[in-house]
């Protein structure tokens, strides 16, 4: 008798990608077409398991509003510029998914009819239910909020089971593993312990939203492509933050 393939443990997810994830290290290109293709393959693999998949992407490879405000630019203007950077990244990711034949919709918090759909909750959920991938861009539509907060907000709104936070490290440590060879990696940690230990998982607004709405966060290394599917199949990858 053939063994039955493992089933996903999550029905609906939000994948949080930084803008820097789309840039090849050491390259002058803000967006690497090859990296976009690689990430698109990983996202498609998750969708193909039957998981309703959405993505929130940052804009730091192009523009960081907070950094610009520290250099004297008006914070509101700088943040709106950052929101537009996330739209560029979202369209790039959609192009990568389109190449793979994956139906994808980009929904923006700032209305721009010729570029993307406006964010409408019911429409986003319907796209997910019929197997389309939804990419949420332009942050929350308001200055002073990060794309981490966007991920937490959208996950709360669409009632996602989990946020998968893709990073360049294999989880959350009690200190910087790059400078401390004895740094301890957590396999699982509670929201309360993460706060008390001041672990920089997400900004405080995003973290509070996840804690209040009981949305687990899994922090993992995106440089191992199989991690995406391994996580949704219930394998212990990275660090889980939960109750």
Q: For residue 147, tell me if it sits in a domain.
A: yes
DSSP 147-201: HHHHHHHHHHHHT-SEEEEEESSSSEESS-TTT-TTPPEESEEEHHHHHHTT--S
pLDDT digits (tens, 9 = 90+) for 159-198: 999 999 999 889 999 888 888 888 899 999 999 898 888 8
- Quick one: what percent of the chain has pLDDT higher than 90? 78
Question: For residue 107, what are the β-bridge partners?
Answer: 117, 136
- Quick one: what percent of the chain has pLDDT higher than 70? 99
Q: For residue 232, tell me if it sits in a domain.
A: yes
Q: For residue 2, tell me if it sits in a domain.
A: no
pLDDT confidence of residue 27: 82
Q: For residue 6, tell me if it sits in a domain.
A: no
Segment 10-39 shows an average pLDDT of 93
CA distance 146 to 150: 6
pLDDT confidence of residue 198: 84
Q: For residue 1, tell me if it sits in a domain.
A: no
Q: What is the mean pLDDT of the chain?
A: 93
What is the number of domains present in the chain?
A: 1
Q: 56: domain range?
A: 12-242
CA distance 209 to 229: 25
Q: For residue 126, tell me if it sits in a domain.
A: yes
Measure Cα distances from 24 to 19, 21, 36 in Å: 11, 8, 10
Segment 76-96 shows an average pLDDT of 96
Query: How would residue 2 be classed by pLDDT, with cut points 50, 70 and 90?
Result: low
Segment 94-104 shows an average pLDDT of 98
Query: How would residue 3 be classed by pLDDT, with cut points 50, 70 and 90?
Result: low
Q: For residue 5, tell me if it sits in a domain.
A: no
Q: What is the CATH number of the domain that holds 119?
A: 3.40.1160.10
pLDDT confidence of residue 155: 98
pLDDT digits (tens, 9 = 90+) for 117-172: 999 999 999 999 999 999 999 999 999 999 999 999 999 999 999 999 999 889 99
Q: Answer yes or no: are the C-beta atoms of 65 and 71 closer than 8 Å.
A: no
Q: For residue 70, tell me if it sits in a domain.
A: yes
């Amino acid at each position: 008798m053939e063994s039955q393939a493992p089933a996903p443990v999550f029905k609906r997810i939000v994948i949080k990608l930084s803008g820097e994830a789309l840039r090849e290290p050491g390259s002058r290109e803000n967006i690497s077409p090859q990296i976009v293709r690689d990430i698109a393959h990983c996202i498609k693999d998750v969708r193909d398991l039957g998981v309703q998949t959405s993505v929130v992407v940052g804009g730091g490879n192009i523009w960081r509003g907070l950094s610009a405000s520290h250099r004297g630019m008006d914070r509101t203007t700088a943040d709106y510029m950052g929101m537009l950077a996330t739209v560029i990244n979202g369209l790039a990711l959609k192009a990568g998914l389109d190449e793979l034949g994956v139906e994808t919709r980009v929904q923006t918090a700032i209305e721009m009819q010729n570029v993307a759909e406006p964010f409408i909750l019911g429409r986003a959920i319907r796209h997910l239910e019929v197997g389309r991938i939804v990419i949420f861009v332009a942050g929350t539509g308001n200055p002073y909020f990060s794309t981490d907060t966007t991920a937490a907000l959208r996950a709360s709104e669409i009632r996602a089971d989990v946020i998968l936070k893709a990073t360049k490290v294999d989880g959350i440590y009690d200190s910087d593993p790059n400078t401390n060879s004895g740094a301890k990696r957590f396999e699982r940690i509670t929201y309360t312990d993460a706060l008390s230990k001041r672990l920089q998982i997400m900004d405080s607004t995003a973290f509070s939203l996840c804690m209040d709405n009981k949305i687990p966060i899994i922090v993992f290394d995106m440089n191992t492509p199989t991690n995406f599917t391994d996580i949704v199949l219930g394998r212990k990858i990275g660090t889980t933050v939960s109750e």
